[in-house]
Amino acid sequence: MHIIIKMKEKQLLFEVKKKQDKINDLLVLIDTLQTNLRSAVSCLDEKSKNQITGVRSYQWCINWRDDSEGSGYSTIEGAIRQSTDNPEKKT
């Protein structure tokens, strides 16, 4: 019985590690996409830039942060609230 519990524990730890690795990969992907989005928008003329940066989904994408960083913007609602409360803030 003890061996079976140990095996399940190891299997669970392995699964947790895989999930943590996937989360880390996704966080890197999000950061990269945010950087690329900022770079692309910076190449636009002012009128086009204002049209894009005024869209809520753009603001959410740019303002989203992993909650483990302590930003408090790990949800769509939190990021939209932040961009609505402080629309001129550039991140």
Report the candidate in 49, 50, 31 with the shortest Cα–Cα distance to residue 41. 49
Average pLDDT over residues 2-27: 90
pLDDT of residue 38: 96
pLDDT at res. 91: 41
> Would you say residue 54 lies in a domain?
yes
By CB atoms closer than 10 A (0-12, 13-18, 19+), residue 78 is middle
d(CA 11, CA 4): 11
Total tally of structural domains belonging to the chain: 1
Q: What pLDDT score does 71 carry?
A: 54
Reported as a single tens digit per residue, the pLDDT across 35-80 is: 999 999 999 999 999 999 999 999 999 988 887 655 555 555 565 5
Kindly state whether residue 55 falls inside one of the protein's structural domains: yes
The answer to whether residue 67 is domain-embedded is yes
Residue 39 lies inside a defined structural domain of this protein: yes
Q: Is residue 66 part of a domain?
A: yes
In a domain, 90, yes or no: no
pLDDT value at position 7? 80
Q: Which domain holds residue 25?
A: 2-85
CB neighbourhood size of 65 (10 A): 19
Structural domain includes residue 23: yes
Model pLDDT, residue 39: 96
